[in-house]
Amino acid sequence: MSDLHQHYVCTREEAREILARHDRFWVSDCGCRAGRGGCARSRLDLCLALVPGETSSPAAEREVTRAAVEEILHEAEEKHLVVRPFRDEARTQTVGLCFCCDDCCAYSLRSQEIQCDQGASVERTERSACSDCGDCVAVCHSGARRLEGSALVLDTAACYGCGLCADVCPSGCITMVKREP
């Protein structure tokens, strides 16, 4: 087994690239959401598998259409969910995608118990165009962005590469770029 963790983070665009390589999809209730009796942020059935039997509830999974997958991606965008693909047990291939939030997710990006790999992308903020509004801070689940007084402080090393900050930036000063190895 490799030293990769089961989960890693990606942008929605990177998720679309993963999904484009597959023709069939299965979904079940998210184990975190179901375990907590629901989620304040999104619906329960967001555990998406690319291989049958790989969801968090294999006995309850059902096959869904590409249109249903698009609905999940739309929900992820609308609800500011972090896309977290997951690998098979050997960590050799991506077999599904989780859509995580700060309400119920047991796989917190800052968890010391359950580790998650940073994604292939990282944020780049054009500071001269940034108004320090803080909109990006509210969606950053990794602690890479915070306000100190009225100034935005960045910790790019803490960025997991989900792209939520770029999604909500009103000035468009945040882009996602490939992470340097």
State pLDDT tens for residues 130-181. Answer: 999 999 999 998 889 999 999 999 999 999 999 999 999 999 999 999 998 8
pLDDT at 110: 57
Question: What does the alpha-carbon distance between residue 52 and residue 72 come to, in Å, rounded to a whole number?
Answer: 18
In this structure, the dihedral spanned by the alpha carbons of residues 64, 67, 72 and 78, taken in order and rounded to 10 degrees, is -170
Closest CA to 48 of 57, 38, 40, 39: 57
The C-alpha angle 148, 149, 150, rounded to 5 degrees, equals 100
Report whether 7 contacts 84 (CB < 8 A): yes
Write down the CATH number for the domain with range 121-178. 3.30.70.20
Structure confidence by residue, pLDDT tens digits, 61-109: 999 999 999 999 999 999 999 999 999 999 999 999 999 887 767 666 6
This prediction's pTM: 0.90
Structure confidence by residue, pLDDT tens digits, 10-48: 999 999 999 999 999 999 998 888 888 888 888 889 999
Structural domain boundaries of the chain? 7-117, 121-178
Closest CA to 159 of 133, 179, 173: 179
Report whether 137 contacts 145 (CB < 8 A): yes
DSSP codes joined into one string, 9-57? -B-HHHHHHHHHT-S-EEEE--HHHHHTT--SSS-S--EEESSTT-SSS
Question: What does the alpha-carbon distance between residue 41 and residue 150 come to, in Å, rounded to a whole number?
Answer: 27
Question: What does the alpha-carbon distance between residue 71 and residue 73 come to, in Å, rounded to a whole number?
Answer: 5
Residues shown for the chain:
181
pLDDT at 106: 66
